Amino acid sequence: MRNIPVNLAGYRLMVTEPPAMKTRKDESGRDVVVTDKEGASKFVVSVFAKRKGDKGEELRVTLDADPGEGLDEGDLVELVQARVSPYSFKNSQGETVSGIAFSAAGVKPLGD
């Protein structure tokens, strides 16, 4: 299953790392911009998700589109069409790495 919708109602999301273009390392160790199937650049933002009374968790969220300017560390935001996708792969040491990846159509300041 991919792109499972996530309901983050009741969570306060605070930017811990402002949005930036998403990159990965190629075989030569150089940074390469991550794109979708159509060639559009992906972006990433880190948010701290906390519900009242809970400890909270930092989430790194891949964004489908450029969020634009104006989101800074400490800003309260909401994710547009948030979703998770499970993944599993073997790394270069032969170990299986598994988890979930968060993504969203976009991010916007709380209250907009």
Number of domains in the chain: 1
Please choose, from the candidates 24, 31, 19, 23, the residue with its C-alpha nearest in 3D space to the C-alpha of residue 104. Answer: 19
CATH number at residue 70: 2.40.50.140
| Residue 112: band (very low, low, confident or very high) from pLDDT cuts 50, 70, 90 | low
Cβ neighbors of 107 (< 8 A, separation 6 or more) are 19, 45, 47, 61, 63, 67, 71, 77, 78, 79, 80
**How much is the pTM?**
0.86
**Structural domain boundaries enclosing 32:** 4-109
Query: What is the spatial distance between Cα 60 and Cα 43, in angstroms, rounded to a whole number?
Result: 10
Give per-residue pLDDT as tens, 40-54: 899 999 999 999 888
Give per-residue pLDDT as tens, 7-62: 999 999 999 999 999 998 888 889 999 988 888 899 999 999 999 888 999 999 99
Query: What is the spatial distance between Cα 37 and Cα 40, in angstroms, rounded to a whole number?
Result: 8
Query: What is the spatial distance between Cα 95 and Cα 91, in angstroms, rounded to a whole number?
Result: 5
Pairing mode of beta strands 96-104, 57-63:
parallel
